[in-house]
Structure 1
């Protein structure tokens, strides 16, 4: 009797092994990130690309838990929208189909920090 071990993540034909942000999405995120760094609000970021979600984590200091997470979940594209901004406690601050619209919830915090 032979036992075959399955591959860890078999990819169905035509689907990528992992989810990632494309160039336009990263441009929008990094534009906001740069403005918040210039305002002194954020200091570091991290990115994770998993099988079902891409995450851009934003940190106030390097060795902390993320203050915000920007997530892309293509599986939710036809439901609530594939983009979400999640707060430090896990609350969903904004969800939608358009990344720039979803990021506006964080831009409001930039306006407050400049005033």
Structure 2
């Protein structure tokens, strides 16, 4: 009995050498992402706001120039807030920013924990 494979008869190399300089300078760079610690901080605030009934849904977008965590009251609407990480602004205003529905930057800075403190002071509508 002979073993047959589904692969056509060609030599497949499992060892591929990649020049890192070429990889880094490729036309399709890796997208910007939140690291584990950043995402942990953001999800902690998100969980607190969901518990308060303020937020209900979120979306993550990882693009070439920035990473965005969008927060929604209802999933079919525009995001209430966007938490953005833009490394190009890290040396200037700070890589992190919180932006509201209208595009107004509520807080910007170098430290994500400090930027997320904007949600500690959020006003709530009280019905009388």
**TM-score range for the pair, normalised by the shorter chain length:** 0.7 to 0.9
1:108 aligns with 2:115: no
Quick check: which has more Rg, 1 or 2?
2
Aligned to 2:5: none
Report the equivalent of 1:31: 44
Q: What does residue 89 of structure 1 align with?
A: 102
RMSD: 1.9
| Partners of 1:97 and 1:55 in 2: CA distance | 16
DSSP 3-state at the match of 2:118: helix
| Runs (5+) with no aligned partner, structure 2 | 1-22
Query: Whole-Å Cα distance in 2 between the matches of residues 100 and 47 of structure 1?
Result: 19
- The corresponding residue for 2:70 is 57
Give the superposition deviation at 1:106: 1.2
Flag the structure with more relative contact order, 1 or 2, with Cα contacts below 8 A and sequence separation at least 6: 1
* Residue correspondences, number: 102
Q: Distance in 1 between matches of 2:120 and 2:24?
A: 37
Gaps of 5+ in 1: 1-9
Question: Who is 2:10 aligned against?
Answer: none
Distance 1:57 1:11 in 2: 29
Which of 77, 80, 95 does residue 67 from structure 1 map onto?
80
Normalised by the length of structure 1, the TM-score is 0.83
User: Structure 2 length as normaliser, TM-score?
Assistant: 0.75
